[in-house]
Chains A and B, each alone.
Chain A
Amino acid sequence: MINATLKALSQQLAAKAVSSEELAGLYLDRIAALNPTLNAFISVDRDKTLAEARAADALRAAGQAGPLTGVPIAHKDIFCQQGWKTSCGSKMLDNFVSPYDAHVIEQCRAAGLVTLGRTNMDEFAMGSSNENSFYGPVKNPWDLAAIPGGSSGGSAAAVAARLAPIATGTDTGGSIRQPASHCGVTGIKPTYGVVSRYGMVAYASSLDQGGPLAQTAEDCALLLNVMAGFDQRDSTSLERAKEDYSRDLNAPLSGLKIGLPREYFAEGLSADVAGVVDGAIAELKKLGAEVVEISLPNTQLSIPAYYVIAPAEASTNLSRYDGVRYGHRAAEYKDLVDMYEKTRAEGFGAEVKRRIMVGTYVLSHGYYDAYYLKAQKIRRLIANDFKAAFEQCDVILGPVAPTAAFNIGEKSDDPVQMYLSDIYTLSVNLAGLPGMSVPAGFAANGRPVGLQIIGNYFGEAKMLNVAHQFQQATDWHQKAPAL
């Protein structure tokens, strides 16, 4: 039961082979046993979860259940959820119990999903290793010495360790895809504007996008159906007709054109990861796909452009943490400015402070054109690269990260080294495209490696089709760590 997919659990619940309460109990017991080792969850509340599960069972008994009613889900601690602590991995929000629900949470509630708990993450989603959490690092379930990736590391580790069948995440520069790759699970970052950012604690608003993590592409499609949708309260939410992301899962891949960006297979890519990606491409060729070489010449520039735009937007967004309306306030201060400065010095961790300071500088008087505007122009160049590439292919394939998961502590003293490892994921956010990670093999040290699939705008159904067909032909996504 613990290895069951969302699809399977939904069928078992419909057949009344198991109740939602039994299912929630099963996962809660597993969380209680394994979370002290993995640290994937920040908050768990057994009574609250079981009450939600009983309500789901009552709906089913009354004949009012939807297809996903009663299935348990773990939420990244970035989505405001009424009555739950929403810490965003920060001391600043350690005492913040949200008075309202994010749009994503409302949608999950309406679908009858049962909250198992709130997953650990890099503070304010800033990080690629989950080492930046106020609540301590998450351990990779495949190897406790390894990072799980970040920032949605708790969500990815929870799904990998079967502490939850599905989880929500957010991706600003790779924060769904990279931990999915490092933990051997499937995750998708939708096209910017598809999932509402309302109630999702803001990091870099022009890049932030919520999305699902699960064992399979099919499960991701089902959960994305729940999460996506227009929402008036997010000013960048796109007004589009509701779509069924699972509609093309079973389409054959014959004639599919796969673009391989030469810049993604150049210097810097480890032999381990290159081997896994090559193997996955060979598998897709067997399924009828054709390969074309493409070029994304501005790939390297995604790092500086991202590390200007994201910190600039973060410095603005995080100015709200002033110790006045909610969150941490310093105990002692001599005046208002002193209160702000002490509150923020105490409440934020080192990486968050660094990014706020980078952002403050690039937006300060006289520097806006040289940094933020310049980065937005480069952002256009990066988007134009993809536009040209998609005239030659249907999807783009490549690695998610240059190496399998590195060791905890290996890069934590060197922010620049950490930033460089985001090379294959950042440009997708800058262009606003959808991207996903699919389990595709293992490195020599036994750590999982994902395959990245990048789609054209609103190409989620096509990407999920490719991923699902790959998963019909391979069993990497069914491998689970021994715990």
Chain B
Amino acid sequence: MSLTHQDVARIAKLARIAVTDEEIVAVGAQLNNIFGLIEQMQAVDTDGIEPMAHPQDVSLRLRDDVVTESDRRAAFQAIAPQVENGLFLVPKVIE
């Protein structure tokens, strides 16, 4: 497997990371080296092996459907880049 510059640009787009043309070349070479390492996995026979998500194979707990959080909006918004009237502001999405 070898990622093309086009692939790298697409991955960066999906990851929402702006990359320059020079970065695509450099990052592409590094990613191909990393995938060279990862490809070793494909030679392993894993038929019938159950994937492992949690070492103790526990499933996620359910909790009672009650409010556990207090209202900390002011503290959380004090550290936000841009807020107004208790709302987080982002650039206009719909014209």
Q: Which residues in A have some Cβ–Cβ distance to B below 8 Å?
A: 95-97, 99-100, 191-193, 206, 232, 235-236, 238, 300-301, 303-305, 307-308, 315, 319, 322-327, 329, 333-342, 344-345, 348, 353-354, 356-358, 360-362, 364, 370-371, 373-381, 383, 415-416, 419, 431-433, 457
- B55 near A432: Cβ-Cβ < 8 Å: yes
User: Is B91 on the interface with A (CB-CB < 8 A)?
Assistant: yes
A336 and B88 CA atoms in complex are apart in Å by 13
A-B contact pairs, 11 of them (CB 8 A): A99-B72, A100-B72, A193-B54, A193-B58, A304-B37, A325-B76, A341-B17, A353-B15, A357-B8, A374-B42, A381-B46
- A360 near B11: Cβ-Cβ < 8 Å: yes
A431 and B78 CA atoms in complex are apart in Å by 41
Q: Using Cβ atoms and an 8 Å threshold, which residues of chain B touch A342?
A: 18
Give the nearest-CB partner of B3 in chain A. Answer: A361
- B80 near A324: Cβ-Cβ < 8 Å: yes
Give the nearest-CB partner of A376 in chain B. Answer: B51
Q: Using Cβ atoms and an 8 Å threshold, which residues of chain B touch A380?
A: 49-52
Q: Using Cβ atoms and an 8 Å threshold, which residues of chain B touch A305?
A: 41
Count chain B residues whose beta carbon lies closer than 8 angstroms to a beta carbon of A.
51
- A303 near B37: Cβ-Cβ < 8 Å: yes
User: Is B19 on the interface with A (CB-CB < 8 A)?
Assistant: yes
User: Is B90 on the interface with A (CB-CB < 8 A)?
Assistant: yes
A303 and B61 CA atoms in complex are apart in Å by 31
- A324 near B49: Cβ-Cβ < 8 Å: no
Q: Which residues in B have some Cβ–Cβ distance to A below 8 Å?
A: 3, 7-8, 11-12, 14-19, 27, 30-31, 33-42, 44, 46, 49-56, 58, 60-61, 63, 72, 75-76, 78-82, 88, 90-93
Give the nearest-CB partner of B17 in chain A. Answer: A344
A232 and B27 CA atoms in complex are apart in Å by 40
- A377 near B80: Cβ-Cβ < 8 Å: no
Closest beta carbon of chain B to A324's beta carbon, Å: 5
Which residue from A193, A304, A325 sits with its C-beta under 8 Å from B40?
A304
- B17 near A348: Cβ-Cβ < 8 Å: yes
Contacts A99-B72, A301-B41, A416-B34 given; indicate if A379 touches B27 (C-beta within 8 A). no
A34 and B46 CA atoms in complex are apart in Å by 51
Interface centre among B16, B56, B82 (most CB of A within 10 A): B16
A323 and B39 CA atoms in complex are apart in Å by 34
Q: Using Cβ atoms and an 8 Å threshold, which residues of chain A touch B78?
A: 99
Contacts A307-B38, A415-B30 given; indicate if A357 touches B11 (C-beta within 8 A). yes
Q: Using Cβ atoms and an 8 Å threshold, which residues of chain B touch A232?
A: 61, 63
Closest beta carbon of chain B to A195's beta carbon, Å: 14
- B17 near A353: Cβ-Cβ < 8 Å: yes
Interface centre among B36, B37, B72, B93 (most CB of A within 10 A): B37
Closest beta carbon of chain A to B36's beta carbon, Å: 8
Contacts A344-B16, A345-B19, A416-B33 given; indicate if A301 touches B40 (C-beta within 8 A). yes
- B51 near A379: Cβ-Cβ < 8 Å: yes
A323 and B17 CA atoms in complex are apart in Å by 12
Q: Using Cβ atoms and an 8 Å threshold, which residues of chain A touch B35?
A: 358
Closest beta carbon of chain A to B82's beta carbon, Å: 7
Q: Using Cβ atoms and an 8 Å threshold, which residues of chain A touch B38?
A: 304, 307-308, 358, 362, 371
Q: Using Cβ atoms and an 8 Å threshold, which residues of chain A touch B19?
A: 345
Q: Using Cβ atoms and an 8 Å threshold, which residues of chain A touch B31?
A: 354, 357-358, 361
Q: Using Cβ atoms and an 8 Å threshold, which residues of chain B touch A315?
A: 15
A360 and B81 CA atoms in complex are apart in Å by 26
A236 and B12 CA atoms in complex are apart in Å by 31
Give the nearest-CB partner of A337 in chain B. Answer: B16
